[in-house]
Amino acid sequence: MIKKFIHQFASPKTYLFQVDRAYPYIFYASLFVYIGSLFWGLFLTSEDFVQGNSYRIIYLHVPASFISQSLYLAMAFASAIFLIWKVKLSAYLVKSIAPIGAVTTFIALVSGSIWGIPTWGTWWAWDARIISTLILFIMYLGLISLHDSFTDYEKADKFLAILVIVGSVNIPIIKMSVEWWSTLHQTASITVTEKPAIDASMLYPLFGSIIGFSGIVFCLVILSSKLQILLREKNKSWVKDYV
Amino acid sequence: MKLINFEFLKLRKKSRGWLGPILVFILIMTAFPLTVEILNKNLEQAFFSILWIATLLVMMLATEDIFLEDYNDGSLEQMAIKYDSLSGLVATKIFVYWVLIGIPISLIGALYGFGITRSSESALQILPILLITTYIFLNVFSFGNALSLTKGSILGTLITMPLVLPLLVVLGKVVIAINLGISFLGFLFLLLGILSIIILILPMIISFVIKAHLE
């Protein structure tokens, strides 16, 4: 049953039709959640004792940095599936996630800089977390340019998948950079294993914003993968019917 | 053994391939004191970071055509058919590059270390670190150049440079340990561990990439 579902879902055609049906629900639900938690976080919670109102950029910065790393892991996962089982769809997914990952990493960097001006007194510091995030951004751009430089899509997909998997050695380093080095950037306030280090009134909107932002980014991935599928499968007859 | 001899001969005959990178390394290391005020004490502090970056750049330049010429004249394809394991061939190639480029550069780097920091102790300490680091760099950059085989070395650099950055962090810690006089054996073993993983895995990945190119 599950196996059959996975096999069907792995075909670009079924994926496209299923995703088309689910897309509006996911998009409006996550938009609602994100705007709701932004409203909650920006207007209903109290000021931070130390940072004043400037901490409120957390509702953009934390989701963006969380997503930027998660997207890379998702790419690595999809690349492994592509290399092992030769599922074409996951190659399309890897290609379509890369630019979105670059954009979210850029959002994380810029929002971090803006947050740095009132709290650290500087918009940039040569700090382990900031450098490793910048490296992640450059890695995404490198992946995009690797794929663009080959006109043979099959080759490009294969190389991209290999590079994504080899490059995933950097992800734990980015994740742990705030704990392995003494840095200006604080350590993570929310972890799975420990009690969160921020107050509940700020925590719930933060969770909401992470979920909402993830949903919106997920919708972007869906759109981008739709484009990728239509581009690659443009010679198939069902694409002509679909368009 | 025959393969090693053959690859060795091929690289030795091509003097720009092995002498070029060494000379570029010497040029970089000689040029850097010019940019700092001479006899300045800062020279010592900047020395190690320049050393690692110069090693990185030179290894990048050295591996630029490690597979390209063989690929262009078709001998890579022939060798892939002739030998059972392409990864063995790749590992041999990298080893020969290390012997002809990596070892001389490590020795010269240690010599520069002696010349600039004026302590034979720290020069001896960076020698093993340099030997291991050059081997790791050669492996990683060969991977990048295998990926971007016909597309130029800028692309290869762009995609593999992020992969060696964790290593640069470790090297930075080594320098701190050397400067403070703490035992750096832990870092040495860490680097050896990284090296042993890399020389087992990367040649296989590189041969996979080359096979995809040859298809």
Indicate the length of chain A as a whole number.
243
What pLDDT is recorded for position A239?
84
Q: How far apart are CA A215 and CA A225, in angstroms?
A: 15
CB–CB contact B143 A166 (8 Å): yes
Residue A195: what pLDDT?
Answer: 67
Query: What's the whole-number average pLDDT of chain A?
Result: 87
Least confident of A154-168, A203-217, B28-42, B129-143: B28-42
One DSSP character per residue, A69-104 reads HHHHHHHHHHHHHHHHH--HHHHHHHHHHHHHHHHH
* Angle subtended at Cα A227 by Cα A222 and Cα A228, rounded to the nearest 5 degrees: 95
The tokens describing A22, both together, are 């689910």
Cβ-based burial of B56 (10 A; exposed 0-12, middle 13-18, buried ≥19): buried
Please report the sign of the dihedral spanned by the C-alpha atoms of residue B126, residue B129, residue B132, residue B138.
Answer: negative
- Residues with Cβ within 8 Å of residue A226, at least 6 apart in sequence: A16, A19, A20
Nearest CA in chain B to A144: B159
Task: Reply yes or no on whether the pLDDT at A179 is more than 80.
Answer: no
- Cross-chain Cβ contact A163/B212 below 8 Å: no
Size of interface A-B (CB pairs under 8 A): 51
Least confident piece of the model among A55-69, A192-206, B22-36, B65-79: A192-206
pLDDT at B104 over 70: yes
Is residue B195 predicted with pLDDT exceeding 70?
A: yes
A37: buried, middle or exposed (CB in 10 Å: 19+, 13-18, 0-12)? buried
For residue B149, which of B192, B81, B210 has the smallest C-alpha distance?
B210
pLDDT band at B27 (very low <50, low <70, confident <90, very high): very high
pLDDT tens digit string along B40-87? 666 777 788 889 999 999 999 899 888 888 899 888 888 888 877 888
Q: What's the rounded mean pLDDT across residues B180-200?
A: 89
Measured CA distances, B137 to B43, B97, B130, B195 (Å): 25, 11, 10, 10
pLDDT value, residue B82: 83
Distance CA B215, CA B210 (A): 9
pLDDT of residue A182: 66
Structure tokens at B20: 């070029």
Which run of H or E residues covers position B33?
helix B15-35
Res A55: pLDDT: 81
* Top-ranked range on mean pLDDT: pick from A129-133, A213-217, B76-80, B172-176: A213-217
> Which of A20-24, B58-62, B93-97, B181-185 is least confident?
B181-185
Task: Decide if A170 and B165 are in contact by the 8 Å CB cutoff.
Answer: yes
**Residue A31: what residue type?**
L
Residue ranges of domains in chain A: 56-207
B118 has pLDDT over 80? no
Contacts of B159 in chain A (CB under 8 A): 139, 142-143, 145-146, 163, 167
